[in-house]
Structure 1
C-alpha cells in the first residue's frame, strides 16, 4: 500500500491521504508561487527562458554538491568538507591543465582520484578512530583550503582547456546548458541506488540505527566508508563541473556553496519523500533556493541579504526536517 493511501476498515477500500500528498509536493508549490511572484514584480526581466537557462547551469555545481552531502547524511554522518573538496578539485584541474599542460581528461581523472583519497582520509578518522564526523570534516576543510591557497598562490587561474568549457556550458539541450543535465543524471543514478538496490537499503538501515543494522548482518563500517568516499568523489565531480561553468578556478569561491548546499539537502528531505534525504527533493530544493537568490539579486537587494536568506533557509530546513523525520516510521522494508 502506498504511503499516500490508507484503507478504510468499513469497506476495505483505499482512501487518498491528501495531507500526505500536499506534504510531498508543498515545496514545488511554493517554488511555483515564488516564480509567479518574481514574474509579476519584474515582468520584463525575470520570466525569460534565458534567465532560467543561466539559473539551471550556474546552480548545477551546487546541485551536485548537495547530492554529495546526502550520501553520508543517509548513513548518519556529516561531511562539512564537500565545499573544500570541490574547490580542491577545480583548482587541481586548473593548475595541472593551465599551468602544467596536462590533458584535461587526465586532469579530471586525477581530480576524481583525489576525491577518493579525501574520502578514505575522512573514513580513517571517522570510522576507525571513531572521531566525530563534524570534527574531522571541519578540520579537513581548513587543511584543504590551506593546500589550495598554497599551490594556487592564492590566485584565480584561467586558461582551462576549452574542451571542458564546451562540454559543460558550450552545448545546449532545449536551450539549457549541459551542466544542468549532468546534475540531473547524477540525481537519476542516486535515486536508483537509494530506492532500488540493496546498497541503498543498507545506507538507510545504517542511518536509522547502526547497532540494529549490525545485528542484522550489515557491514556497518564498510557502508560508512563507502558513503564517505562517494561523497568526496561526487564533490570532486562538482569541482570539475564548477571549473567548466566558470572557465577558471577560484581558491575561495567554492566554499560559498557549502551553506546553500546543506540547506538544500535538509530542505529536500521535507519534500517528495518527506523524512528521508532523497535526490529529487534535493534537486528541487537547490533550484528553489537558487530562484529566490536570483530574484532577490535582480531586485538589487544588497549582498548581505543572500547570506541571511541562506542562513535562514538552513535553520528552517533543519527544523522542518527534524520534525518530519521524528514522526516517520523507519522505511527500510
Structure 2
C-alpha cells in the first residue's frame, strides 16, 4: 500500500496534501477546495486547487467519498503523512507532570497498569490498551480450601506480596483427603521458585515415587499444577479501557465500522498478539487501517510502544486504538512518554 515518495510531489502539491490531511484529522470530515482557498489557505484559486486535488487522488493519496464532496486521505496518504510530514507536538510540562503523578501513586502494579490504560484513553480520546508484563513471580506460599463438593480454591502468594486466586475442579473423592497436607507439600516445593520451576520439581518427585503423598493427594497436586501452569500461559494479558470513546458523534454515521472494532477488542488474545509484534521494535509502531489484518474491516489505527523496566528490558506493550483520523501528531509522543513513565514506575 505504498504511495509515491514525498519527493515526487511538487511544493504546491505537498502543501495542499498537508492541509487536507491536517484538516481531516482535526474535523473528521473531508476538506473541500473552497476551504483550502479561504483565509489561511494556499492562496490559489479553487480551480487550481481542484486540479492539484485531482492529481493527489490519481496518485492514491486522497479520495473523494462523495461526488462534489471534499477530499480525505487514503490509508496510503495517512502513511505518507505520518512517516514523512507529521510534526509531533510534544506533551506540555503540565501534561508530563500529570502523567508522572498519576503513575507514581502507591499501590500494586496491577493498579498502575489499569491507570495507564485509562490514562491513554483520556489523553487520546480513543481506547487505551496495556499488555501486562510477562512475569513469573517467585512463590512463598500455596493454600488450598474446599469451596464445594467439586471445587477447590487455591491461593498463590508471591514473595513480592502478589496474590492470585485460582479455582480447581476436582472429583468429589479427592476432597476427602487432607487439603492441609497438599497445601504444605506445594508450599514446600514452590517456596522461592516460580510456578514453572515448582511444577518441574513436583512432577519429578511424583513420577519418581518420592512425593510422600497418598494417591488422592498426588492427584490433587498434579491436577492443580497442570491447571495453573496452563492457565498462566493462556490467560488474557490485555487491559483495555475507554471503548466508549469510540462511540462519538462521528461514529454514528459509520456504526458498522465501530461495531466491528468493538468486536475485535473483545477478542483480547488476538489484540495481544498484535501488540506482541511491537515488543521487538526499538520504537513506536503505527498500524494504519488494513495494514494490519485484524483491524482491516473496522479501518482502525493502532499506535503501540514497548515499555521497559529500569534495566532496559522490554516487559510489555501499551498503546491506543481508534479511527484512522487519530491526532497522530499529539498521540504518538504521548504514548511514547507514557511508556517511559510506566517503565520508571515498574522499577
Q: Same fold (TM over 0.5)?
A: no
> Which bin holds the TM-score, normalised by the shorter protein?
under 0.3
Bigger relative contact order (CA 8 A; separation at least 6) = 1
TM-score after normalising by structure 1? 0.23
Q: Which has the higher helix share?
A: 1
Larger radius of gyration: 2
| TM-score computed with the length of structure 2 as normaliser | 0.22
Higher strand share: 2
